[in-house]
Chain A
């Protein structure tokens, strides 16, 4: 029992550590939001691309989601879209393999998207084949 609890805590701590790391990267990508602790280093690098960059990234992210959600068979709620200066990263899941490329194509077709990194995977739905 204790071993298993220990394992759980270790994995939990690991997940948190990775999480912090990922958030930091996300913060840098979106031009260093002030809420992120230890953002001082990023503010310096973000000075060249101030508010407008962050706003533009958000706007582009919204545009990509709007484009994906036009396709009724795709669940945009299971897809992560992160935009940074025209570079879009897709993550999360779709329900069949054909949708992986389809979502990437949709994202590429959105004006302002310069590149797409595709990390989507298939999650077979409950009761699915």
Chain B
């Protein structure tokens, strides 16, 4: 009896301790600015035309506005259960962000994961931002921001590969993957490894819709290094004319491959970055085979003011007439710990079929060179 009681008491103590350590946080960011862009297009279609200059209120000058809930429960023994629900929204009209399927939105389109962390590292299951995006952000002076960065360059490659921009299911690499299992190792002398596997869940087709990726990172002595491998099956199944033309059925076709190497070095107030990437369709290399290169330079003038710049180059390895060069320059000023004011300018020289954008969500027509400028504010809560 006594021992039972004491063990029950111990359990009760343990339970209350575990509860005391759990927490839930509601958080988010609103990022809104004024954008001027010298040309626009209404779609990423190859026949899209320049519809003229635009002046608009625009979401996401640094990153998209988003909000979320996250929590951690300490279950003892160095293990924790973590969850995160997070999605973007458009601050100018209140709409939610893109889902996997064209024409659909998702409340939690950035994260809807539950996972475990412990001495072994971290495992998260569900829809999430994939490791390759963090690898690119860590090795870009402009941090894969939404205006003129490695993100818009990588998206430019996707647009050239036939991504209509209406869903998050892209032909080269991925920003978000649904159904994903991601393992993140602990850091050992600054080195770490992330592995992703996403079962496709396609009936009768074990390879159908699967994705696998690996990211090797090093972060020490002021140097961030990252190497990415990404492979996907049956990606971007929606034709440019969807839903008029139906989605391509999943057959296990290996059609998405991305390699990337990047480095960023920080010394004093300076940061300098460089990267190289290849994106292709292994099942159709003669049509989809692109190259991406970047360089960045930034300087932090004070604890509240910094300037970043980047150059991003895209090339079609099948047709040298298709290439694109972009430069972007941005200044960020911290008004407080949670509020940032920013101003940025960019120019893109698109040639041939290239339609690299300056900022995410403001398409330009193929072969049309464009200038954009934006000022905005970003507040976190």
Contacts and interface: CB of A to CB of B under 8 A. Distances in A.
Interface stretch (B7-15, B71-79, B205-213, B221-229): B221-229
B134 A77 contact: no
Given A77-B222, A81-B222, A126-B143, A22 B268 contact: yes
Contacts of B297: 15
Interface stretch (B49-57, B182-190, B242-250, B251-259): B182-190
Contact of A126 (B137, B270, B345): B137
Interface string A88-129: 010111000100000000000000000000010111111101
Given A75-B219, A77-B190, A127 B329 contact: no
A21 to B, nearest CB: 10
Contact of A91 (B25, B138, B300): B300
Dominant secondary structure of chain B at its interface with chain A:
strand
B108 to A, nearest CB: 12
Contacts of A77: 138, 190, 218-225, 264, 266
Nearest to A61: B221
B63 interface: yes
B219 A129 contact: no
A65 B221 contact: yes
Contacts of A65: 220-222
Nearest to A76: B220
Q: Which of the four size classes fits the interface of chain B? A: 35 or more
B318 to A, nearest CB: 30
Contacts of A49: none
B110 interface: yes
Contacts of A72: 186-187
Contacts of A123: 143
Nearest to B121: A72
Residue among A62, A121, A129 having the largest count of chain B Cβ atoms under 10 Å = A129
B303 interface: yes
Contact of B266 (A1, A7, A80, A122): A80
Interface residues of A, number: 38
B134 A80 contact: no
A78 B129 CA distance: 21
A57 to B, nearest CB: 14
B222 A92 contact: yes
A11 B309 contact: yes
Dominant secondary structure of chain A at its interface with chain B:
mixed
Interface string A12-36: 1001001100100010000000000
Contacts of B224: 75, 77-78
B340 to A, nearest CB: 9
B133 interface: yes
B299 interface: yes
Given A26-B268, A119-B303, A123-B143, A76 B190 contact: yes
Interface of A: 1, 4-5, 7-8, 11-12, 15, 18-19, 22, 26, 62, 65, 69, 72, 75-82, 89, 91-93, 97, 119, 121-127, 129
Given A92-B266, A92-B271, 18 more contacts: A69-B189, A69-B190, A75-B224, A77-B218, A77-B225, A78-B224, A79-B222, A79-B266, A91-B267, A91-B269, A91-B300, A119-B269, A126-B133, A126-B134, A127-B134, A129-B27, A129-B29, A129-B66
16 contacts: A7-B329, A18-B299, A26-B268, A65-B220, A72-B186, A76-B190, A77-B138, A77-B218, A77-B222, A77-B225, A78-B219, A121-B334, A122-B337, A124-B380, A127-B111, A129-B66
